[in-house]
Amino acid sequence: MIVMKFGGTSTQDAAAIANVVKIVKSRLSMRPMVVVSAIAQATNVLERAGKLASENKSDSALNILQQLSDRHVGIINNMIEDSQRRDVLINIIEISFNELRDLVKGVSILRELTPRTLDSFYCYGELLSSRIVAAALQEANIDSWWIDTKDFMITDENFTRAMPMIEYVEDRLKAIVKPLFENNIVPVTQGFIGVTTAGRRTTMGRESSDYSASVVGCALNADDIQIWTDVDGVLTADPTVVPEPKKIKLLSFEEAFDLSYFGAKVLHPNTMLPAIEKNIPIHIYNSQKPTLSGTLVAKQTDAKDTIPKSVAYKRNVLILNIVPKKRYGQYIFWEHVNNVLTKHDVASHMTATSEYNYSVVLDAKDNISAIVHDLNTIGTVSVIEGKGIVCLVGSNLRQSPGLLDKIFHSIIDVGVEMITFGPSKSNISFIVEDNDVLDVVRRIHNNFFSVVKDDDIFEILEHHHTPE
């Protein structure tokens, strides 16, 4: 079987959903299970409604919810002709938005939006889009069955960033889909959302529907995990930044992980984790151009491969440099620092250490003042703001002779503040001024990817519009 995941732009309106139906139909012989995101922007609207309610702006919250409801109803009226099927869906929409209005009321009384409550808002986006897609398949005479993730996607209780408990997921999901596949029925379910063992809805982090698809694929030993999105695949750089990026045909799991972790938006980084474990290939396809070959993420077989594949970046980070006040043993000092980061629930994007110095790179939006406050008890902390990370990704880069020279030669006039090269075999990352990030990305891209020779790996994009 295969898993087919469709993102928000692939379900944004009736025409997009009709296209999804067409794509699923063309792959019925591969026995698909369909995973869908909320329709475009729905998750943002739900989040906004929750926040507005907590700020005592219930009217605005109800207003944007009404618009979201109208959008769903519009899609249904546009594409579901069978009146009984349509009535059922409209009824579900009505019930769901009544529940959302109750949530708004509750939150505005409490003036507090906890992660748990936010998840109660979020879940409606995927619950509704998946209902509509399941019904749209039926309209096209494809037998489909809507499955609520409540029945199988068991997660821990870390609301808004829950992790699935694969062993439970596997048993439950297998039991649910077995009779469906035996009868050639296409299961349709939600990305992004899960449920605790006590039955509370959870979500697994923004943009995590890709991850859901991978968890489903892993649980069912899929032959392929297909991520259907709105771009041609993974590119050699952000197409809004560089002129003429190339499409990458083939990436290893590690390369895809590093790229998505360092800012490429095509895939959620966690997507690779279950797939690596079971060695299931991931394809990224453009749902607007379903005949294109997309990008394949798979196990790296050719270990000699040292081709740089892509340059990614992350903006708005800062460096915390910590010097211990007392000369603790090195390990104790490191442990102190990491305990503070763990307490604040932040992860360092890059770390550099020397005997009695410890530097970590954090997002500027992390709770920096509280972190610095806690670190002050053990060390003297300096905060170096306004930085960005640039990261070149490619398997075995570490073994590539002359690589560092080639990278830094092209940015000789740019101040580089911190480098990590080594911990991951497939990336080199360094820190520059945030204002220089885009320029550095362009220069590195020009240096490494303006001419690409390897047709097995890269493909020239058609109709790319060069940025200004």
Q: Does 207 bind Mg ion (CB under 5 A)?
A: yes
> Which range touches ligand ASP (CB under 6 A), out of 36-44, 132-140, 148-156, 346-354?
36-44
User: Contact between 120 and ligand ASP (CB under 6 A)?
Assistant: no
Residue 176 burial class via C-beta count within 10 angstroms: exposed 0-12, middle 13-18, buried 19 and up: middle
For residue 43, the minimal CB distance to Mg ion (Å) is 11
State the number of CA atoms in the 13 A half-sphere of 288 facing the CB.
Answer: 8
From the CB of 169, what's the least distance to ligand ASP, in Å? 18
Q: Which is nearer to Mg ion, 176 or 273 (CB)?
A: 273
**191: contact with ligand ASP by CB under 6 A:** yes
In angstroms, rounded to a whole number, what is the distance separating the alpha carbons of residues 32 and 187?
A: 8
Residue 76 binds: one of Mg ion, ligand ASP, none (C-beta under 5 to 8 A by kind): none
Among 19, 43, 252, 271, binds ligand ASP (CB under 6 A): 43
Give which of 346, 225, 233, 207 is closest to 276, Cα–Cα: 225
Terminal CA-CA length for the chain:
44
- 11 within 8 A of 36, measured Cβ to Cβ: yes
C-beta of residue 81 within 8 angstroms of C-beta of residue 68: no
- Which CB sits closer to Mg ion, 186 or 264? 264
Q: Which is nearer to Mg ion, 6 or 146 (CB)?
A: 6
Judged by beta carbon, residue 285 or residue 458, the one nearer ligand ASP is 285
User: How many C-beta atoms surround the C-beta of residue 70 within 10 A?
Assistant: 12
**Total binding residues toward Mg ion, as defined by CB under 5 A:** 2
Residue 126 sits in the site that holds Mg ion (CB under 5 A): no
Pairing assessment for the beta strands 2-6 and 32-36 based on DSSP bridges: parallel
- With binding defined as CB under 6 A, does residue 202 bind ligand ASP? no
What would the x/- binding string for ligand ASP be over residues 58 to 87, using CB under 6 A? ------------------------------
User: Which residues, listed in sequence order, are joined to residue 352 by a DSSP beta bridge?
Assistant: 359
Q: How far apart are CA 382 and CA 136, in angstroms?
A: 56
What residues have CB less than 8 Å from 428, skipping those under 6 apart? 391, 392, 397, 403, 404, 407, 419, 420, 421
* Window contacting ligand ASP (CB under 6 A); options: 148-156, 204-212, 290-298, 356-364: 204-212
Q: Which residues of the shown chain bind ligand ASP in the complex (CB under 6 A)?
A: 7-8, 37-38, 43, 125, 191-192, 206-209
The contact set with Mg ion (CB under 5 A) reads 7, 207
